[in-house]
Amino acid sequence: MFDTIIILLLQIGKIIAVVLPLFIAVGFMTWAERRVIAWAQRRQGPNVVGPFGLLQWVADAVKLIFKETILPSGSNRIVFLIAPMLTMALAVVAWAVMPIDPNFYIADINVGILYLFAISSLGVYGIIMAGWASNSKYPFLGALRSAAQMVSYEVSLGLVIITVVIVAAAFGDDGFGTFSLLGLVEAQRSVWFFIPLFPMFIVFFISALAETNRTPFDLPEGESELVAGYFVEYSSMAFALFFLGEYANILLMSAMTATLFFGGYLAVPGLGWLIPDSFVWFLLKTFFFAFVFIWIRATVPRYRYDQLMRLGWKVFLPFSVVAVVFYAAMVMIFSG
């Protein structure tokens, strides 16, 4: 009984050690995005609250906490309030299987990559609930766009993940593929997967942009035609939860990119002596890809909706199917 309590307390400690820094990182992401876009547009950006404006996200959080939550008169109030909670919760629980360090993770389950894929697929439900419960045209149109977009690009994401597992079978020690994220990272000790899987890395990263509704695929939030999309009727902390969920998903997709294609917590070959801590390498890779997310928003114009769907179904899907067959054949030929 005592041992069970100790294990439970350790797990709770691990959860706090992951979730608390995640919330802080999400806060700094809101600052970083405004700052990077300001640099790209030759503006100052937030620079008043705290040194270099670093505490701007704290001021924003305090403002949103004390604002009134306005519920539209014709909305379904229960679903309206559950939607942002669901979006934020899914963005957080996905981190349960992320190997931040070879000795630090909340859970290393043997289907970790499938767990991540399932959690990311559920994110569309919060958006659909928000659009429907608002009882307004613009949120509903934004929610429909998001549902179609996320379903379209999840197919490509799933096929990319299959190619990663196939290649892990060739580079892993046991000769078998693994669905454990820790196992996928360890299989990259000889070569990072972005080298043999470079085309699939490109497909994965672009699909991640579409999955998180980010520029140039931010059609569900199209300000020019939908005001703000599915969360236009939200205010106060309900709006903040959507905001936090979006940035938590950006960090999650950045961490997935680093884990699946760039060795996760593994050091850059030849530079392990410079930064011996594997945790720092994981953070550096994750924040680099998060920076790329922001950089793309500052530089790339938005797609039309027909272009977005054509890219997903007529380019990425057939390319991913062919790639799965090709990599499976290569692994069978060279390992057999």
pLDDT in tens, 176-187: 457 888 888 888
Question: Has residue 168 got a pLDDT over 90?
Answer: no
In a domain, residue 50? The reply is: no
Structure tokens at 157: 């994401």
- In Å, how far from its chain's centre is CA 62? 25
- Other Cβ atoms within 10 Å of 129 Cβ, number: 22
Residue range 295-313, pLDDT digits in tens:
998 888 888 888 888 998 9
Residue 40 lies in a domain: no
Domain count within the chain: 1
What's the pLDDT band for 173 if we cut at 50, 70, 90?
A: low
Residue 302 lies in a domain: yes
d(CA 132, CA 12): 35
Residue 184 lies in a domain: yes
Tokens representing 115? Answer: 């767990």
Distance CA 69, CA 67 (A): 6
Read off the pLDDT band of 175 (50, 70, 90): very low
Please indicate, yes or no, if residue 56 is contained in any of the structural domains.
no
| Category of 53 on φ-ψ map: left (φ > 0), alpha (ψ -120 to 50) or beta | left
Residue 36 maps to a domain: no
| Three-state DSSP state, 10 | helix
Lowest mean pLDDT among 213-217, 222-226, 242-246, 275-279: 222-226
* Residue 203 clears pLDDT 90, i.e. is over it: yes
Per-residue pLDDT band for 152 (boundaries 50, 70, 90) equals confident
Q: For the residues 280-308, what does the mean pLDDT come to?
A: 89
Give 316 or 226, the one with higher predicted confidence: 316
Burial 238-249 (b: 16+ CB within 10 A, else e): bbbbbbbbbbbb
Question: pTM (2 decimals)?
Answer: 0.90
Query: Does the residue 2 lie in any domain?
Result: no
- For residue 192, what are the domain limits? 74-335
Q: What span, in angstroms and rounded, lies between the C-alpha atoms of 210 and 160?
A: 15
**Does residue 42 belong to any structural domain of this protein?**
no
The sign one gets for the Cα dihedral 5, 11, 12, 17 is: positive
